[in-house]
């Protein structure tokens, strides 16, 4: 049942997200890539049954969409409005940043904050983590997904080929230390994403052939991500923290 439900939501997400003539996003234009966002939304819902969550650096808005589908009150926040037509189509207001660090919200405004591929891009991680802690309620959650792993073999190869776009990468020890300094306790931390999910830079023919096996690749990816030692080479670190 869950598998069929995920496929239905995946189809709805892609139908809503991509309109005719719009550029396809490699992170979402495959079952393997998009299903990872669905799994992230399910994990958030398992910790946060109800409440208000900030989609910090919401990007195209796919996580805002998925979290709204799960009954959460979502606030979408990003640096600029370009490429955010999807949010308007689903009736989701975008709040634009006026400062690279300071967040325009009162203390304790949110039950949770989500960082999905964001923390590695901020100019001052320590200051941003303090801001996130400030706007989060006591015992509120901080979800960090798609944080680049310093020991990822994919990141290593991408950097050597000149295709890498993550100059900042973390070890589990480093991110745990920064979060503890900001006043969080770690509830869950793991490696995620052993297989590449978009083959960025490869010819279209190769990408299409690869993604024909997405259901199988997803199972292999989950298995490799659960293997001790091997999973240290995964692309990302994901974690759930709670404000003390």
Task: Note the pLDDT tens digit of each residue in 69-85.
Answer: 999 999 999 998 776 78
b/e per residue 205-218 (b: at least 16 CB within 10 A): eebeebbeebeebb
Is residue 4 over pLDDT 70? no
Q: Where are the beta strands (DSSP E) in 59-212?
A: 73-78, 94-96, 110-116, 136-148, 184-192
Q: How confident is the model at residue 23 (pLDDT cuts 50, 70, 90)?
A: low
Question: What is the three-class DSSP state of 139?
Answer: strand
CB neighbour class for 153 (10 Å; exposed up to 12, middle 13-18, buried from 19): middle
Q: Where are the beta strands (DSSP E) in the chain?
A: 52-56, 73-78, 94-96, 110-116, 136-148, 184-192, 236-243
Cα 234 off chain centre by = 15
Per-residue pLDDT at 62 = 92
Per-residue pLDDT at 20 = 46
Per-residue pLDDT at 191 = 96
Mean pLDDT of the 193-199 span: 90
Cβ atoms of 121 and 140 within 8 Å: the answer is: no
Per-residue pLDDT at 18 = 66
More confident residue, 240 or 80: 240
Per-residue pLDDT at 183 = 95
Q: What is the CATH number of domain 2-243?
A: 3.40.50.150
Is residue 1 over pLDDT 60? no
Distances from the Cα of 112 to the Cα of 40, 142, 196, 230, angstroms:
14, 6, 29, 31
Cβ atoms of 36 and 15 within 8 Å: the answer is: no
Per-residue pLDDT at 127 = 96
Mean pLDDT of the 210-223 span: 93
Per-residue pLDDT at 198 = 84
Distance CA 139, CA 183 (A): 11
Q: Where are the domains of the chain?
A: 2-243
Per-residue pLDDT at 2 = 52
Tokens of 155: 């990141």
pTM of the model: 0.92
Is residue 195 over pLDDT 90? yes
Cβ atoms of 236 and 147 within 8 Å: the answer is: yes
Q: How confident is the model at residue 35 (pLDDT cuts 50, 70, 90)?
A: confident
């Amino acid at each position: 049942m869950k598998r069929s439900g995920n496929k239905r939501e995946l189809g709805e997400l892609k139908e809503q997200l991509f309109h005719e003539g719009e550029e396809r996003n490699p992170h979402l234009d495959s079952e393997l890539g998009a299903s990872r966002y669905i799994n992230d939304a399910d994990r958030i819902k398992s910790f946060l049954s109800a409440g208000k969550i900030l989609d910090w650096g919401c990007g195209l808005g796919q996580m805002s969409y998925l979290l709204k589908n799960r009954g959460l009150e979502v606030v979408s926040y990003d640096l600029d409005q370009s490429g955010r037509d999807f949010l308007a189509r689903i009736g989701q207001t975008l709040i634009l940043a006026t400062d690279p660090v300071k967040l325009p919200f009162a203390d304790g405004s949110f039950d949770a904050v989500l960082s999905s591929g964001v923390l590695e891009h901020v100019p001052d991680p320590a200051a941003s983590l303090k801001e996130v802690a400030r706007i989060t309620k006591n015992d509120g959650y901080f979800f960090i997904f798609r944080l680049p792993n310093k020991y990822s073999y994919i990141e290593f190869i991408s950097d050597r080929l000149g295709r890498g776009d993550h100059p900042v990468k973390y070890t589990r020890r480093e991110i745990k230390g920064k979060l503890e300094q900001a006043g969080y306790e770690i509830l869950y931390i793991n490696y995620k994403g052993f297989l590449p999910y978009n083959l960025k830079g490869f010819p279209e023919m190769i990408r299409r052939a690869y993604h024909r096996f997405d259901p199988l690749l997803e199972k292999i990816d989950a298995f490799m991500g659960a293997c001790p030692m091997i999973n240290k080479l995964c692309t990302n670190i994901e974690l759930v923290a709670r404000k003390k």
